[in-house]
Chain A
Amino acid sequence: EVQLVESGGGLVQPGRSLRLSCAASGFTFDDYAMHWVRQAPGKGLEWVSGISWNSGSTGYVDSVEGRFTISRDNVKNSLYLQMDSLRVEDTALYYCTKGATFWSAYYEDSFDMWGQGTMVTVSS
C-alpha cells in the first residue's frame, strides 16, 4: 500500500524555524518527484515546493523562496521541508505529495498520492 506520513508540524513563533518530514512507503521512492502542498484553514490548495527524483532540480512558490528548503533522502525514503523565518501567513496544513510521472523533474506534473498532512501554526 502506498503511504505518505508527514510529521514535524506544531506551534511556532514568527521568525522561528521548523523542519517537516515525510516518510514514504509502498512505491519506489527514488523514481518520482516529490512535493509539498499546503492548505490554510478554510482555504484552497497552494503548491509550496517540489524536488526531482534525483534532487537535481527544485522549485518554490515565490512567497517561500529563500526561506524554505526542500530535500530528500532516497536511502531513507524520506522528504523534508526546512522552514526558516516563518511568518503568520505560513500557517497551514502541509501535505506531502508524490509526482505522478516516472523519473520526472519537479515541474509539469500532477500529484497522485497525498499524505494526511501535518499542521503548522505560526503565532506569537
Chain B
Amino acid sequence: SYELTQPLSVSVALGQTATITCGGNNIGSKSVHWYQQKPGQAPVLVIYRDSNRPSGILERFSGSSSGNTATLTISRAQAGDEADYYCQVWDSSSRYVFGPGTKVTVL
C-alpha cells in the first residue's frame, strides 16, 4: 500500500516561512493536494495538483513536488495559519491516501 509521511509538528515564528513536507515513493509523479484544518472546522483545500491555489486562497500558500517529497510553504506566517495540514494523493492500488497531518504552530 502507498503511504505518506509528514512531520508531526512544525513551529514557525510570526512573519517567517513554514515548510511542511510530505514524503512518498516517487510522489513527484503524482498530483499532490494540501488541506488546512483548523480546530473544530472542516478541512479546506489550499493547494491542488502540486502548486495550484484555489480561488480565495492567499498567495502566501505555495506548493511544489519532486522526487520523493512534496512541500507546502507558508510565507509570512500569521496566527491564523495555525492548523493541521494534510497532504493527499491518488494511488491506483491504495486509492485516496492522506498523510498523517502536520500541526503548525505560529510562535
Contacts and interface: CB of A to CB of B under 8 A. Distances in A.
Indicate, yes or no, whether A interacts with B.
yes
A9 interface: no
A27 interface: no
A112 B54 contact: yes
B43 interface: yes
Interface stretch (A11-19, A72-80, A84-92, A103-111): A103-111
Nearest to A61: B95
Interface stretch (B10-18, B19-27, B69-77, B96-104): B96-104
A60 B88 CA distance: 16
Contact of A114 (B42, B88, B98, B100): B42
B35 A45 contact: yes
Interface string A41-76: 000111100100000000101000000000000000
A100 interface: yes
Contacts of B79: none
**Main DSSP-derived SS at the A contact region:** strand
Nearest to B86: A45
A108 B100 CA distance: 19
**Main DSSP-derived SS at the B contact region:** strand
A116 B37 CA distance: 12
B43 A114 contact: yes
B18 to A, nearest CB: 19
A57 B39 CA distance: 33
B100 A44 contact: yes
Interface string B58-98: 00000000000000000000000000001010100001111
Nearest to B95: A59
- In order of increasing CB-CB distance, the 8 nearest A-B pairs are A47-B96, A110-B33, A114-B42, A45-B98, A110-B48, A108-B90, A44-B101, A112-B45
24 contacts: A35-B96, A44-B86, A44-B98, A45-B35, A45-B37, A45-B43, A45-B88, A45-B101, A46-B98, A47-B97, A47-B98, A59-B95, A61-B96, A100-B45, A100-B48, A107-B90, A110-B33, A110-B48, A110-B88, A111-B43, A112-B48, A114-B43, A114-B44, A116-B42
